[in-house]
Amino acid sequence: MALAEAGARGRLLRWPRVVLFGDSITEYSFQENGWGTYLAERLVRKCDVVNRGISGYNTRWAKLILPRLISESTGADNIVAVTIFFGANDSALKELNPKQHVPLEEYAANLKGMVQYLKSVDITTDRIILITPPPLQESAWEKECLAKGDKLNRCNATTGQYAQACVRVAAECGTDVLDLWTLMQKNQDFSSYLSDGLHLSTKGNSFLAAQLWSRLENRLSALPSLLPYWRDVDHTNPEASLL
């Protein structure tokens, strides 16, 4: 059978998509042992896990580009989950990092606006998960700043205010939320979860992956595998199995 004929006979295969939208912590999630890689491995042949992390971005910039990443015309209907993971840059101290800093109230409004936009393209709230920024290990991040000739430009208490705002927005909008800031500090020293005081270590990636998977597993693991297992293909008449 010619390829064109096979294509005409078969239905177009459209993989459902999980979209990870965030800053560098999302961008780096496809590195070795990253939390995005963990999700992709568990959802192979069920979903495409799409990395839309943009290093250094805050919610002010993110809300502008979200409609360019997800729209009705780009197949929003086959998105089964979206994570929105911002705050590590928004919470930078204004006087020391004015370019990335976003005021707390604006940060909350931006998150709410992004959720409302996703709803407007028919991505329901049960498919949206907000993730708070992780805690900041100040001494380790200060070393990173000093190495670049800068002063410590973030503090954990301020990051916590942004995390709390993220949790409030989720409650107001009816979405799920992963409060990473609180969970990582619960009865433990959280420094091992971070590679440089701000970004996730291998342990931090594993922690986030496990927490996120616990929220996604029920809704996504039941999705069928796309295309039959190879032993189930009728080798005498593969068209009957594959088209």
Rg (CA), the chain: 20
The two tokens of residue 152 are 């410590």
**149 belongs to a structural domain:** yes
**212 belongs to a structural domain:** yes
Q: Which domain holds residue 146?
A: 17-217
**Known catalytic residue at 206:** no
> Comparing C-alpha atoms, which of 137, 147, 181, 176 is closest to residue 163?
181
Beta bridge partners of 102: none
> Comparing C-alpha atoms, which of 184, 186, 85, 185 is closest to residue 131?
85
Domain count, the chain: 1
Check residue 221 and give its pLDDT. 76
- CATH number of the domain that 177 lies in? 3.40.50.1110
**199 belongs to a structural domain:** yes
**% of the chain beyond a pLDDT of 90:** 81
Please report where in the chains the tokens 């009728």 appear, as a residue. Answer: 234
**144 belongs to a structural domain:** yes
Q: 10-35 pLDDT, tens per residue?
A: 678 888 999 999 999 999 999 999 99
**Known catalytic residue at 24:** yes
**230 belongs to a structural domain:** no
**198 belongs to a structural domain:** yes
The two tokens of residue 2 are 């010619």
**243 belongs to a structural domain:** no
pLDDT exceeds cutoff 90 at 4: no
Q: What does the pLDDT average to over 61-89?
A: 93
**What's the pTM value of the predicted model, to 2 decimals?**
0.93
Helix (H, G, I), strand (E, B) or coil at 120: helix
Do the Cβ atoms of 6 and 38 come closer than 8 Å? no
Catalytic choice (77, 126, 196, 234):
196
Q: 176-213 pLDDT, tens per residue?
A: 999 999 999 997 889 999 999 999 999 999 999 999 99
Helix (H, G, I), strand (E, B) or coil at 79: strand
75 — pLDDT class (breaks 50, 70, 90): confident
> Comparing C-alpha atoms, which of 44, 224, 87, 27 is closest to residue 18?
44
**241 belongs to a structural domain:** no
